Amino acid sequence: MIPVTKPFLPAEEEYNKYIHAIWERHWLTNNGPLVNELETKLKEYLKVSNILFLANGTLAIQIALKALALKGEIITTPFSYVATTSSIVWENCHPIFVDIDAGTFNIDPSLIEAAITENTSAILVTHVFGNACDIDAIKAIADKHQLKVIYDAAHCFGTKYNGQSIFEYGDISTSSFHATKLFHTIEGGAVFSKDPLLAEAMGLLRNFGHTSPVTFGSVGINAKNSEMHAAMGLCVLPYMDDIFKVRKEQWLHYEAMLKGKTGIQLLKLTLGCEFNYAYFPIVLENEKALQKVTTALNLQYVQPRRYFYPSLNTLEYIDQSKCAVSESVAERVLCLPLYHTLKKEDQDMIVKVILKNC
């Protein structure tokens, strides 16, 4: 079986060294030494101003929304994982969907201003598949209308924009360290902000608002992560340069075989984006072609993923609106298998099946 992805796992004995030390300390959670070590090493590796390690990427978005005290309407993308939209709704805000660019699959900045009203408080958008949004255009709009900006950068570990970490942009950036991501802590996530006051506020939100064992500085929730999860992150981090190298080779191999083929559209990278090669999406001619290709791949024990589907503006629990480009892409997009141990001959077989059936 060739799944769409497999988590990278270090040698078992490397992880067990950390677990043995945890057993000896009996310190499992509540801002333990490994959590602090991981935050320090990630800050150094990514060259970011501030980072807080969290339980998952969804809580990261919710904490970002809460830290900025957002209310009313939030402009967002319809082409993302459901957590982007559900977090807005969860925090009692109203998602306003703006359609996407047909090439990058990110929000189309030229359409944002028309969606701004007196009730708009922020822009929350996703760097889709690790491909940077047009950050400069979004910043110009946000500055003009005095709006906050949150970036859902769940796919973006290692991505840079104009030479610096993509996590340094926006008022707050969030990420996921879920097992399916390039860098993972089994379950996990993070928030990033260049503003030290915002970082401090999010630190309180992460841990019930505790300022001491018996005092509370603000409302808060339990978004902490454990020593076991931090241990996995500390094991994976030293391998990241090799993971990026292998992933880029795999991505470029797919691209070389599929670029320019009739009926297949590939991802267009944003100008200024140093890509992390996290995902390899293809967009087929129509949904019928997608279903035919998927069935043919399944018969060869290959499991691609319709990612993202459906377009989030069609969800039943929001006020539905029309986003023609996003709806069209969502009906036709397929992410191909991509993971550290994927063999080139398996990639060759996958491409042969696609070209034969699309």
- How deeply is 3 buried, as exposed, middle or buried, from its count of CB atoms within 10 A (0-12, 13-18, 19+)? middle
Cβ atoms of 42 and 190 within 8 Å: the answer is yes
**Smallest Cα–Cα separation from 147: which of 163, 170, 180?**
170
Residue 176 phi, psi (nearest 5): -115, 140
- Which is it for the CA torsion 237, 238, 241, 242, positive or negative? negative
Q: How confident is the model at residue 190 (pLDDT cuts 50, 70, 90)?
A: very high
**Hey, what domains does the chain have and what are their CATH numbers?**
12-238 (3.40.640.10), 240-357 (3.90.1150.10)
> How distant is the alpha carbon of residue 118 from its chain centre?
29
If you average pLDDT over every residue of the chain, what do you get? 97
Q: Which residue's structure tokens are 């859902």?
A: 152
- Measured CA to CA, the distance from residue 305 to residue 242 in angstroms comes to 25
- Measured CA to CA, the distance from residue 289 to residue 353 in angstroms comes to 12
Instruction: Report the predicted TM-score, pTM, of the whole model to 2 decimal places.
Output: 0.97
Report the pLDDT value the prediction gives residue 321, as an integer from 0 to 100: 93
> How distant is the alpha carbon of residue 119 from its chain centre?
27
Cβ atoms of 93 and 116 within 8 Å: the answer is no
Cβ atoms of 269 and 128 within 8 Å: the answer is no
Cβ atoms of 57 and 189 within 8 Å: the answer is yes
Report the pLDDT value the prediction gives residue 350, as an integer from 0 to 100: 98
β-strand pairing of 281-284 with 264-266: antiparallel
pLDDT tens digits, one per residue of 153-187: 999 999 999 999 999 999 999 999 999 999 999 99
Q: Residue 60 is inside which H or E element, if any?
A: helix 57-67
Interval 103-111 mean pLDDT: 98
